[in-house]
Structures are given as structure tokens and as C-alpha cells.
Structure 1
Amino acid sequence: MKTKHLPPRPSGWSAQWFLSSVLLLLGISLSKDILDGTNFQLSANNLRLLNRPEQFHGENVTGPFFEGWYYKTVLPKAAGSVIFIPGVFVPKSMNGEETTDTRQQPHGFVMVIRDPHTVECLYYAYPMSEFSATPGTEDGYGFTVRIGKSTFHDKGMELNLDAAALVRTTDDDTSAFMRKALRERQVLHPELRFPGSEEKLLTREWPRKALSVRGSVTFLDSVRFPGSKLIPTVMGPFAYLPAMECYHGLVSQYHQTTGAIRFETAEGSKEHEFDVTGGEGYMEKDHGINFPMNWIWLQAGSFAREKGSSLMMSIADVPLLSKKGMLSRMVSSIPVYGSWLLSKFHMTGFLVTLHHSRTNTTHNLSLYTGSRIKSILSDAYLNADEKPMQEVEITVTDFWRTKKMMVRAKRPIGAGVPLPGPIVEANRMALIVEETLTVDVDVVFTVDGVIVLEDSGSIAGMEVVGDMKSLISGI
């Protein structure tokens, strides 16, 4: 029997085997880290509820996760508006650590802001045991969200918010938000930087009141966003991507309202009551793991001549890789080119819809339709009363360049109300958004050069958040 002689092992074989083993173990470890950091349940829910943006997407989802429904009610004769934002926040696991900070715990919430009679954002927090959501029909009707003793659904809301459930914003959070707002405004509007201007550029600290809210509001003749297989939601084909950081849904472009909303002191006496019969409304929502870093959002639905028309614009810097995820860290660690490559994993997206009531047509000029933003201009000045004003002008055209929309929005600086939102880095809800409820809007919309809508509104909502120079340069 012949003996088979094995060839001698090449020098360095043991070192190569050791290095390969280390790389294999490292790969397994990275894969586990990536898998652990991916919210597969949320991705599955996003696909399952692809054409039902109004539904609750957080079933069995671990943190970080947030979801919020935006209910806007405009008072009769456009005398003001009241906003309710029911939602839920689930932080990422704290590995057994305990906290007494309600906004760092899983909880349901209802935010309330109003103008006139503006106060700070009222933030009512409830344990997850008092949050529930019921799905509706396949066509998006009949969904229900219950938080505490209040109910929100597609046909209205029943309000029963006790002052005892209020969670106050800390002074540290308020100071940090003020500093951030001041920095952003000084960079964007250097023309307003003169001695003593800092106080005028700051967000106002609104009065704090312990208020309860009772009432009932019914929605009539809701106008839905016209979805399709290709465009299942207002996000269009992007809705098919199951793991984006933030999803936007348009539930009701316009509806009429009946009912009343009563604000009470902690002792139970009436502080103020709003009769909303004959008013107008709008509903949208957001869900995901994090808000964009920079965005402009505008919603107007109380036009002077074209009653029943509604405009929504959202322009945002959208990350395609979460900056806090393992994949981002892997890309950024690539020598020389890492930071440059990571900077390419985002885009400036925009959603623009206009429902024109007279022709009962929804015009969609969003990014995925081939539309383009021709220009975004932001200006600031002092009005006749020496108060700083901000004016934003946006021009959009469709793919064929037959439709053109020019929107000019004007708001007083410092008149907005700071709202909490999810902050992944801090693993909590904290002040990140300033929303102004008294924005003047002028809209001119043409088709083939013919004016279809030329109108003005005065009760629009607007948010301008983050680095606007970076956002505008990305268009």
C-alpha cells in the first residue's frame, strides 16, 4: 500500500488560519449587531399595512419607535385652530435601567396646542396599558386609537384629558431648545442680527396652565388621498421601502366639523370653550424611529375663496442609512472615503399635494412624480411694529412642466409653540419642533399657463426645523 505524503504546509499557514477565524468571528458579531439593530417587526408591519397609513404600525414593535396622528380643527370663520396629536413612544431598551422621567419610558400621549388663547404645548402622558388601537376596514375607514379616556378615529374624536396626566417640560429642555432655535435663526437670517435682536429671534415661552380638555368633534365629508397600486400612500413608491426612518401618511385632506371643545382649570371651571360647528379639519400622521434632521412643513386648508381646498407641503432631508446604525459606522470607517460615502446615503425628498375643491381634483407634485422644486427662498424682515417676520417662497413644477405652483408663506418669528418629538440620541421625547398656527399663505396654481387656483389663507400651520441652508442646497 502506497503512503500518500501531504505537501508541506506553506509558511505562515497558522497565521492565515488565525486571521481568517478572527475575521469570521468579527463578521458574525457584526451581523448579529446589524440584525439586533434592525426592527424587523416594524418593517413587517410597514409592508402589511402598505396602503393603510392611518393604521397603528407599532404592534409588537420594540424601540426606538414613535407614531403620532395629527388632528387639526380650524374654528368657524377661520378664527383660530386647535391641534390634537395622539400618539405613542417606545424608547430603545435601557438594559434594565430604571428612570423616573416619563418621557423616557414607553407611553401613550396626547399633545394639544391652540391659537388664540395660546399656552405651552399641553402634553398628557399615559402608561402603555391605557393605549390601544383597533384596525379599520381595508379601505382605511373605522380605525380607532384610545389613549386614557379619550378616543380618536377617522370620523372624529371624544376628548377626556385630565390635568392630572400633564407632564411638564423641564427648564433644561426649554433652555436647550431656545439656544438651538436662536442658532438656526442667526445662521439663516443674518440680516436680523443687530444689537438687541437675540431676544426678538427667540421662541416665546408661553404661559403654563394646568388644564383639562373635554369635548367631542365629528368629521363630515372627509376627502381622502387618492391612492393606487403604484402610489399606495402620499409617499408613493417610497412606501414600498420597509425600513426607512420616518413615514408620512395623509389621512384626510379636508373635512367639515361639528361639536365643541372645552378647556377647564384643574378645579373644573371653564377656562375657554371653542364651538367648532361649521369649522374645517385636516388629518395626517407620522411613524418610524426618528424624525428627519432638517425639514419644512406647511399645511393650509382655510382659503378665502376656494373653500374645501387643501394644501400640504413637506420638504425633508431623508437619511437612507440611520446615522446611529452599525451599517453607517461601517461605511464611515472606510479609510479616506468613508465620510464622503456616508454623506451620499441621504436625499432631499418632498411631498406636495393640492386638493382643488371646485374641480374635486387632487394634484400631486411630489418628488416621485417627476416634479421638481425650482426654487426655495427664505427671507426675514421687521414689520411696521418692529416685529421680526419670516417669509418662505417655494415654486414647484410637474414633470411635463405644464403645472406650476407658487406658495408664499409668512409667519411672525417667535410666535410658534415648541412641541416634543422623539430624539434617538437621548432616547426620550424632548422639544424639537416649533409649530406656528397663524401663518398667512398665498397660493397661485396654473395648468398650461391658466390660473386654476389663486387664493390666500391665514390659519395655516408651518414648521421650519434644522439647517435650512443644507436643506435648500440639496434641492
Structure 2
Amino acid sequence: MKDPSFPSPDLATGYARARPRRRLIQTAVLAVLSAMLIQFTLSPTSKASYFWSNVKNLHRPLQYHGQHIRSNFFEGWYFKIVKPGLTKDDPTIGMALIPGIYRPPSPRSPLSEPSQNGGVDKGEDSRAHAFVMILGLPGTQKSAYYRFPIKEFVDLGSQEPGQERAFRVRIGQSVFAHDGIVLNLPKDRFEQVPEEELEAFYTEASQQYERQYRATVEDDHPVSDFRAMFPSQKDLKALASLEPFAVKGQFRFSAGLQTPLPTSRLYPSIMGFTAYLPFLECNHGVASLHHPIEDGLISVVTASGAITESVFDGGVGYTEKDWGINFPSTWIWGQTNIFEKAPGSSLLLSVASIPVLGPDVSEWVSTHLPILSSLTNVPGLLLVYYHASTKTMYNFSSYIFAARLENLKVTMDIERRLQTVSFTAVTKDPQNGQETVALQVQMTREIGTGVPLRAPSRSQRRMATAVEETIIANTKMKLWRMGSGEIIVEDEGQGSGLEVVGDIGWLERRFLVSSL
């Protein structure tokens, strides 16, 4: 007779198998709770507001998240608009509009950095402000930064059921919404980025290019002068001397013509189930993967009254947003939705170094337990391709257990002055669970042609120029079924967005494996 106090061999085996899994789950939960406890201890008020905001808006990632957050927070919506070119005389034109709000960490002393333009509410840190950034302007100056007092940022978003994708904010006299934009940016809100800030940015960008280049050539190969590929100091002085200008414009893109990202309770946003972690350094949301620009016009009005315009009627749009505490220290971002053979399709890549337990915990570990600092950052991947003709979403992101990214590389062609991001990814075929699909991508841009973009800087504790963004890169991609060899689509895209920032070698080393 079997002793009832002992399970049968089959059950015992099941218990043995379940025990490590249970321990893993318990360890993960303990790590998450420990990270939250440490962050609450370091800054209880701001963290409580940040956590609660992320929980409250879990299924509304596009809504404004900063209602009750007073420090250490940023949020920005990203509207990318591209009009495809037809000939050499009618080239592709692209631009990005980025409205947002920035609240710096609590100052270490009562003294705070003075505002360069515009006042602030009484008691408000002078570094806190709302902003509108524009990249790809017509005319001499390709980018502009408009700064507004916090009080001129107004959330007009809807909280009604069925309006999860609706958002609307007003900054000054400009309105940004899920279905349109009205621009009215006066010249007295224009903030010229200091020459010293741009020079520091171009110097750092040149060094990043050199490190990437060194990783792909022999050690004795002569180093190219990447700084010479960016605007010269003379050019920067000329830009700094330009008078402030106003920008006006209007864009319309109906909600009914947009391509939203499919969501569910498990995957409430592009971040999948990781959206349930309320303390991440940076969060990501996608409003529309692709939509037509029904009407689009932007005008630059100089102090003398001269007007330069760009027309985007018939163009293609894409909308996303970021919010959180800070941008990652290292990332690659790429996006394109203007394909030749598969119109309406869209590709999005975002791979970054993620302080998985939060930036405060990572900083504490690197200071007090440096031997463990490498364990606090992991590579995170968001990668989706939407095939419009079959209405199929291929998801290669980190939270898809069957998916993986391989052979991530950033290479340089000095003679042609080109930088290329290439990779291969695999995942289960959503149309056939027994099949695996592979995606191969190359995204290429001309070195030095990107536009400088400000971002929240954790080290400088302010908005600082830190990103070279290109909005007219080129993309080549191929998607096929690995078992049968059937090519689903092989295509080229234009008007691609591309950013390459930080220690890219760190990312490359974590995606070296190849099984194809």
C-alpha cells in the first residue's frame, strides 16, 4: 500500500518540475517589490505619483500621464509626417513635430538654472517647461525649439469609454490631437539652442561614429574626421545669429483612416506585458502605425515677414509617444511606413538598454555594488511589422517568448558616407502556429545629415541636445517563412526615421547569436 504522505512518482516529477518555475516567479516578484521599495525610499512622493499614473492609464497609454507629477518626469508625443518624392526634382520631404512637457529632478540646492525664455509659475523649478520641437522645417534652419511656461500646457484628452486612443493637448495656442494638429508658434517662444550646446553634441556624435567605425575596421586603418561631416563652427555661429521666427501650420489625419496597434489585456500597448511594470525608466506607446495626411501645410514666418512653406497633402503619417523619467542611455530606433510593394504596411524597431529595476536602483547598485551593475541593465526590444494587404501583425518583441533578434550590427561606409543598421529577427507565424517567419532589415542614412534633437538628460538634469534624428533614411526588408522558404514580402521603404545613440557595441554583443 502506498504511503499517502508521499506523492506518486508522476506527481513527484511534476512537483520537481514546478518547483524551479515557482521559485523563479517568486524571485522575480521579490525583485520587483524590492526595486519599488528602494525607489519609494529614494523619492517617495514623485515615485508614488509616477507609479499611480502608469497604473491608472495602463490601457490608455496615449493619454497624458503627468497630471499629479511635479518633478523627474517627461512626456512627448511624436508626429512623423513624410511626403514621398516622385522624381529627383520632387524629392521626399519629411518632418517630425514633438510637443511635450519636462519636469526636472528636484534640485540639489535652492538655486536652479535660469530660464532662457518665458516665465514659470510661482514656486516652479525654472527648468520645468512645456515645449514644441520641429524637425525638417523648410528654409535655412531645419529645426526649432519653442519653450512655454508649464501653465500653458493643458490636457484636453478624453477619458470617455471607447476613447482610449483619443488624446488632445494644447501648448500655448497650438493643439495636438490624435486626428490633427494646429500650429501657432510665436517667435517670442522660440529658443535658440546655444552654439556651445550644439558643438558639444556634434563632438559627442562624432566620437560615437568613430567608435562604431573602429569596431568594423582594422586597428591600423586611418580614422576618418567625422566632425567634418557635421555643420562647421562657422555654420553654427551663423545659425546662432538667425533671428527668431514663427511657425504656423495645420494637419488633418482622420481617426477612421489610421492603423492602430492591436492590444489586449495581456498586451495593453506596444510594450506588451512589460507595460504592467510601473517603474520603468521610459515607456512607449503607438497611436497609429500608418495614416494618410489629408491636408498638411507648414509655414515659417521670419521677422521680416518672409514666408517659406512645405505642403504635405497626400503624405503619410505615424504617431507615437514616450513618457517616463529619462531616455535610455543607449538605443536604436527606426520606423518606416512608405513601402513600394506593400503600401500601408509599417515597420517599427526600438532596441535599448533597459535598467529593468528602474534608473534609481541601477544608479544605487553602480555606486555601492559596482560588481553587480551589469546585472541591472538588460537589452529590451520592440519590433513589429504590419503587413497591410493581409492585415497581419508580425511581432518580434522581447515579450514574445518565441521571438528573438539576431546579428544586430551598425556598419559604416566612409567613402559613401553611409551608416547602416542591419539585423535579423524570427518569430512564430501568426497565420500558422507551426511555422516560423524570419525578418531581415537594413536601414541606411547619410552620415551627418540628421537633425539635432533635445531629450531629457539625467546627467545634466535638463533638456539637452542628445539625439541625431534622420527622417528620410532608406529601408530594405525581407520577410519569409523559414520552413517552406516562401517569401511573404521583399520591399524597400523611403522616408524612414532613424536614431542611433550611445554604446551600440553593448547592444551588438547581446544579439550576436545566429541560427539562420
Residue type of the alignment partner of 1:113 = L
The one-character-per-residue Cα deviations of 1:296-343 (angstroms, maximum 9, x if unpaired) are: 0000011112111111100000012445x3x44654466xxx212222
Residue type of the alignment partner of 1:339 = P
CA distance, structure 1, for counterparts of residue 230 and residue 253 of structure 2: 36
CA change 1:37–1:328 in 2 (3 A) is: farther
Count, aligned residues: 439
Aligned to 1:295: 331
Q: CA deviation at 1:31?
A: 9.0
Whether 1:352 and 2:366 are equivalent positions in the alignment is no
Aligned to 1:3: none
Unmatched runs of 5 consecutive residues or more in structure 1: 1-29
Structure with max Cα Rg: 1
Q: CA deviation at 1:68?
A: 0.4
Residue type of the alignment partner of 1:129 = K
Residue type of the alignment partner of 1:381 = D
Aligned to 1:395: 424
Whether 1:97 and 2:119 are equivalent positions in the alignment is no
Aligned to 2:490: 454
The one-character-per-residue Cα deviations of 1:158-217 (angstroms, maximum 9, x if unpaired) are: 111112211111122112112211211111102496366244454676773533221211
Whether 1:176 and 2:189 are equivalent positions in the alignment is no
Whether 1:281 and 2:317 are equivalent positions in the alignment is yes
Task: Map 1:331-342 to 2 at 5 A.
Answer: 331-332=365-366, 338-342=369-373
CA distance, structure 1, for counterparts of residue 303 and residue 40 of structure 2: 54
Aligned to 2:182: 158
Select between 352-361 and 460-469 the one with higher mean Cα deviation: 352-361
Match of 1:167 among 184, 191, 195: 191
Identity between Structure 1 and Structure 2 (%): 31
CA distance, structure 1, for counterparts of residue 468 and residue 165 of structure 2: 31
The TM-score, its normalising length taken from structure 2, stands at 0.80
Aligned to 2:353: 317
CA distance, structure 2, for counterparts of residue 212 and residue 31 of structure 1: 42
Whether 1:88 and 2:119 are equivalent positions in the alignment is no
Aligned to 2:79: 71
Residue type of the alignment partner of 1:348 = P
CA distance, structure 2, for counterparts of residue 85 and residue 178 of structure 1: 21
CA change 1:268–1:229 in 2 (3 A) is: farther
The one-character-per-residue Cα deviations of 1:326-361 (angstroms, maximum 9, x if unpaired) are: x44654466xxx212222011101001111111122
Match of 1:188 among 205, 212, 232: 212
Aligned to 1:436: 470
CA distance, structure 1, for counterparts of residue 251 and residue 142 of structure 2: 22
The TM-score, its normalising length taken from structure 1, stands at 0.86
Match of 2:307 among 257, 264, 271: 271
SS at match of 1:56: coil
Q: Give runs of ≥4 in structure 1 deviating > 6 Å.
A: none
CA change 1:197–1:277 in 2 (3 A) is: same
Q: CA deviation at 1:271?
A: 3.3
CA distance, structure 1, for counterparts of residue 473 and residue 366 of structure 2: 41
Greater share of residues in strand = 1
Select between 197-206 and 306-315 the one with higher mean Cα deviation: 197-206
CA distance, structure 1, for counterparts of residue 394 and residue 99 of structure 2: 28
SS at match of 1:269: coil
Residue type of the alignment partner of 1:34 = L
Unmatched runs of 5 consecutive residues or more in structure 2: 1-37, 87-91, 118-125, 429-433, 512-516
CA distance, structure 2, for counterparts of residue 246 and residue 407 of structure 1: 25
SS at match of 1:41: helix
CA RMSD of aligned residues (A): 2.4
Residue type of the alignment partner of 2:453 = L
Match of 1:135 among 148, 157, 161: 157
CA distance, structure 1, for counterparts of residue 306 and residue 165 of structure 2: 34
Aligned to 1:23: none
CA contact (8 A) 1:296 1:465 kept: yes
